[in-house]
Amino acid sequence: MVFHNKSENILLLFPEYLKHFWMDMKYHEKELFLFEEMKKGKEYAFDFFFNYYYPGLCVYAQKMISLQEEEARDIVQDVFVKFWKNRQELNIQFSIRSYLFIAVKNKCFDLLRKKNRSIRTQEITVQNDSSDESFETYVFAELEALFNNSLSKLPERCREIFELSRLHGMKNREIAEKLNLSEKTVENQMTKALHILRVELKDYLPLLALFEFFHFLR
């Protein structure tokens, strides 16, 4: 088993027959298909999960549970090793994402307990909740608060234009008409907003991408 670099084009790992219909599949269908392939010992399927989730899981362990960078990498690597070794016995009911995040979370808390570090009350509550859906809701809420905090730091007009574009789905022309601005001004303000947010959130981008926030920053 080889851990491929996260920057590698993931489709290059796939057999030719799969490339033809891959783009037409929904993500949930892709995960289920690849999970079954992985259980059969197909390393390309494991490589997909590793490439896709590894960066975000490391950010989660480091930034949201306050581990050192090396500790975070070691824990995530260990989770993926067990994910591969125990693949035939795994019974994942909700999603691969939930399984991996909860596995990383539990190992992080095990390490923190061993080192007698304090754990935030709300994280202990989430740890004791066995519901995958509850955990995903918790992580999403944490990221949403982080994103909204960064959004609040934008200049007022800049934030207004960004929200109309990304949160309300308006086109530049429509925003310009609504705010009585030129389209060029709207474009410039959007460029400014995206630059500020990408800089503000740069350490969290791999994690935000796993929870559908990244499309706001494109």
Predicted local distance difference test score (pLDDT) of residue 11 = 63
Predicted local distance difference test score (pLDDT) of residue 160 = 97
Predicted local distance difference test score (pLDDT) of residue 194 = 95
Distance CA 67, CA 72 (A): 6
Second-level CATH architecture of 1-127: Orthogonal Bundle (1.10)
Q: Averaged in consecutive runs of 10 residues, what is the pLDDT profile of the chain (218 residues)?
A: 44 66 72 89 92 94 89 96 95 84 91 71 46 76 92 95 94 96 96 95 91 77
Q: Where in the chain is the domain with CATH 1.10.10.10?
A: 129-218
Distance CA 182, CA 187 (A): 9
Q: Where in the chain is the domain with CATH 1.10.1740.10?
A: 1-127
Got the DSSP string for 139-184? HHHHHHHHHHHHHTTS-HHHHHHHIIIIIT---HHHHHHHHT--HH
- 168-183 in b/e burial notation, b at 16+ Cβ within 10 A? eebebeebbeeeebee
* 170 contacts 183 by C-beta, under 8 angstroms: no
The CATH code for residues 129-218 is: 1.10.10.10
Q: For residue 206, how far is the Cα from the chain centroid?
A: 6
Distance CA 157, CA 33 (A): 45
Predicted local distance difference test score (pLDDT) of residue 127 = 47
